Chains A and B, each alone.
Chain A
Amino acid sequence: MRPAVCFIKADSSETGSDMSDSVKFRFDVDGSNFTTAGQASVQVKKNLRELGIPAEAIRRVSIAMYEGEINMVIHAHGGVAEVEVFEDKIVIVLSDTGPGIPNIELAMKEGYSTAPDNIRSLGFGAGMGLPNMKRYTDGMKIDTELGKGTTITMVVNF
């Protein structure tokens, strides 16, 4: 995967924040190579450290984002990850054009998984992805449409 990182000064009216500006990172998550999954999360962790974000918030963002990245690779042939850093929170938006989630309630249950065996043999696909994303963030919203794709928005306060 080749992460395309860019810093964007986001306008407050676009982000809905009362902050005057923010820092934004954008990554293309390559869905063709499972072994490179996680590079965006690792890069985000590094970037957040450089910004002086508290360690626990970085950890939560990294875990949630990594789970999302893995999901995008397993189920959706990749996608786009955007991380926006505000003064008191971090907003992660993961977008893909994959098959969508047929039953969100079921997908949110720990242990429920539709991942194939080859993914399980790598230590993933245990049905912990979405539950972990929810557990380690302060807010999570799933917008999904069958055959169109899924967008997951997560917020971590600090």
Chain B
Amino acid sequence: MTVKELCESAGFSPICLPDPEREVEGGYCGDLLSWVMGRAKSGQAWVTIMSNINIAAVATLCDTSVIILSEGVMPDAGVAEAAEARGINIAATELPTYEAAVRVSQLI
């Protein structure tokens, strides 16, 4: 399933999708960036409540397929632009992290 299809099916709101056809291969949840960076794998959908600019760098280094901001969190100013420039997909949802992850799991 692609990131675009996941967003449509799960009801996640696209923040920026510069690479909508990217395949989603599993998921990862975490907010401690050092922890995420060491463990999230390429292609995974990363569910987090962290909204600062560093998530774009972490997603780039981990090569995750999409950042899903959960719990109604929205990205800080400038994050969407930085992500767009780096080809990083970001979507947002009001769902709690657990429920967002369950939805990803059910759909992919």
Contact = CB atoms under 8 A, between A and B. Distances in A.
Interface string B5-45: 00000000000000000000000000111110110001000
B53 A35 contact: yes
A124 B34 contact: yes
Interface residues of B, number: 21
A136 B34 CA distance: 12
A37 B35 contact: no
Interface string B43-64: 0000000101111011011110
Interface residues of A, number: 24
Contacts of B78: 35
B57 A128 contact: no
Contacts of B34: 67, 70, 123-124, 126, 128-129, 132
Contacts of B35: 126, 128
A42 B32 contact: no
A35 B58 CA distance: 12
Contacts of A136: 38
A38 B32 contact: no
Contacts of B60: 38, 42, 45
Interface of B: 31-35, 37-38, 42, 50, 52-55, 57-58, 60-63, 78, 86
